[in-house]
Amino acid sequence: MKKVLVLLGLSLALTSCDKSETNIYLDDELEEVGATVIIAPQASSSSGTSGRVTTSSTPVDREEMFVWIDEITVVAQDSESTNYGKTFELVDDGSGADGFYLEDVPTNEVIDFSASSTSKEDGAGKFLTSTGNPNNLDGFVSRMPFAEYATDAPVSQYVENGDNVVSLQMNTQHGRLISSFQLDDDIQYNNPSNNNLPMYKLVVNRASESAYATGPSGVVSYWNDVNSIGGVTQTFDIEIQNYETGVVVYTRTIDETFVASTSTTNKYVVGLDFVDSSTVEVIFTWQAWDNNDGVDETTNCGTLTTQTINGNWSLTQDTILEGVDLVANGGINLNGYTLTVPCGSVTINGNLNGGGTLIHCGALVVSGNTQNNPTITQNCN
């Protein structure tokens, strides 16, 4: 008897003999190597192919496949567009088969293999909501992702007697965006002249959706569903309003773009006269859900003052100058110590001498010479 064996999740292996039986199973070893299954849109006989695919699904143990993958449809099509594929349902209770099996795949001819998967919708959604702690997004990040996978193109394989292997790369275009918004610390206070009510209100609008927060609370946006495709954008129109009068005192617009196979988490801090940046994390895949750190606006320096030092200055110990832009009207000799300006810029109207270390956040301007190889690092608080 001839068999074709397909390895899903990473590679398809085929075993054959005639026109008898095809076995498909998940190859853990291949998965560890990094192969991934791609899922094609053709999933049933209604897609225009001759119909050998049945509407019922065969249960298969999930093993190492992502928890959000629901069903996998394998298409195995000959030159006459006859489909020998089947749909498989992944199960978690150990009651399914330990591999994926196709019946009656012909041998000694070229078969086009492709695959596609559906996604569970437990965590799918699009919403804006208020939150008491905009810095803790763990509950949103832990929601089950929505992601459907497919092969970019069929893989043609000549099926012969014996063992055959076909590799299918599984990719998804779906992504996820989780974003929080909060007022800067300096404007979270209450107004004692208005019954101690909040002084300002943060309003976040996305198209027809709107949510607001006051004080240390914030707003969270979540979007991950069938429409959250890589390249799709969303726009937030943000306002700071006087809580008592409703007068808008500050506006900001933020645009975000989905990245395929990526969950991105942003945290925005909004102030009256400044805006810092944001944070980006990542998780995802079968193609690999990644995690990246971006900019985090939840840490900021507030309003800076200018500290001026006249004449040459030689450090006698490690020195930190918080909340200032430093202007030195003369040279600075680090003298082997570390000078840290964690929020502001540094302007030296003279020479900068090492050895030692200068850590600064903003721009560094030295009008004289930089001598004796000081270590210079730009790093913001």
CATH number of the domain within which 249 lies: 2.60.40
Residues 166/253, Cβ–Cβ less than 8 Å: no
C-alpha distances (whole Å) from 235 to each of 18, 36, 250 are 57, 33, 17
Mean pLDDT value across residues 62-74: 90
| Other beta carbons within 10 Å of 277 | 16
Query: Quick one: 7 and 113 in the same domain?
Result: yes
Task: Count H helices and E strands in the chain, helices first.
Answer: 2, 34
Residues 342/380, Cβ–Cβ less than 8 Å: yes
Query: Quick one: 159 and 39 in the same domain?
Result: yes
Q: What is the identity of the amino acid at 352? A: L
Which domain range does residue 239 map to? 176-270
Query: Quick one: 234 and 337 in the same domain?
Result: no
Query: Quick one: 207 and 161 in the same domain?
Result: no
Q: Is the predicted pLDDT of residue 288 greater than 70, yes or no?
A: no
Q: Is the predicted pLDDT of residue 104 greater than 80, yes or no?
A: no
Query: Quick one: 92 and 196 in the same domain?
Result: no
Q: Is the predicted pLDDT of residue 320 greater than 60, yes or no?
A: yes
Nearest Cα residue to 329 out of 345, 307, 344: 307
Q: Which tokens go with 177?
A: 């965006």
d(CA 198, CA 187): 9
Any domain includes 138: no
Query: Quick one: 351 and 220 in the same domain?
Result: no
**pLDDT tens per residue, range 190-225:** 888 888 899 999 999 999 999 999 999 999 999 999
Any domain includes 291: no
The alpha carbon dihedral of 308, 309, 311, 315 has a sign of negative
- Determine the pLDDT at residue 344: 86
Query: Quick one: 158 and 247 in the same domain?
Result: no
| 92 — pLDDT class (breaks 50, 70, 90) | very high
